[in-house]
Amino acid sequence: MRPTLVRTAALIGSFAVGATTLSAQSLRDQTRGPSTKTPTHVISVNPFLPLFGYFQAEYEHRVAQNASVGISGSHTKFDDLYTSVDVKLRLYPQERVLENLGISAGLGYGRVKGQDENCGEIIELRSCADRNVSESAPTFGVEAQYQWLLGASRSTAVAIGGGAKRYFISDSKSSGIERVVPTVRLTIGYAF
């Protein structure tokens, strides 16, 4: 009688595991939706920066199973005002381009506007106006991000990440400008 009980329990257990597996596959298919088309482009923006008068946007295009190229632009403020346009090569180690972990390197050109540190805190701002510093230079940046493609059609892209960017401004022209700055990415976009 005991072997029958063990066989019955094993049979019920295998049905439960099988039903759970089928249910999980069905749920995954439902969330993927009827569209099996893989997006090849993503256009995304940071929706929060415009509230403060700044912006960050990016266009990304799939070029291989594990790589994409993109162009991005940003206008943000740390201690100084940084504006740049970059071309990026992004690698996806898990070979799901435009999804999951992506690591990128980018070259670009940027401009930094700041105030000469020799000006200090002078109450009369007009005397400092002619001492504002503005320098343009090539840039190099690295970044790691994680991107999700959401919805039944996988057309909503959400990405978070961060990295660093260097502005190649000479010591003699930098005049107190921070030449290596952090980059933060929080974007929402459209994948197609």
Tokens of 96: 């799901």
Distance CA 133, CA 72 (A): 24
Supply the mean pLDDT for the chain: 83
* pTM for the whole structure: 0.73
CA quadruple 139, 161, 29, 68: dihedral, nearest 10: 10
Q: Is the predicted pLDDT of residue 120 greater than 60, yes or no?
A: no
Q: Is the predicted pLDDT of residue 173 greater than 90, yes or no?
A: no
Q: Is the predicted pLDDT of residue 1 greater than 80, yes or no?
A: no
Distance CA 76, CA 123 (A): 26
Distance CA 174, CA 146 (A): 33
Distance CA 107, CA 27 (A): 42
- Mean of the pLDDT values across residues 26-46? 71
Residue 127's pLDDT is 54
Q: Is the predicted pLDDT of residue 167 greater than 90, yes or no?
A: yes
Distance CA 133, CA 135 (A): 7
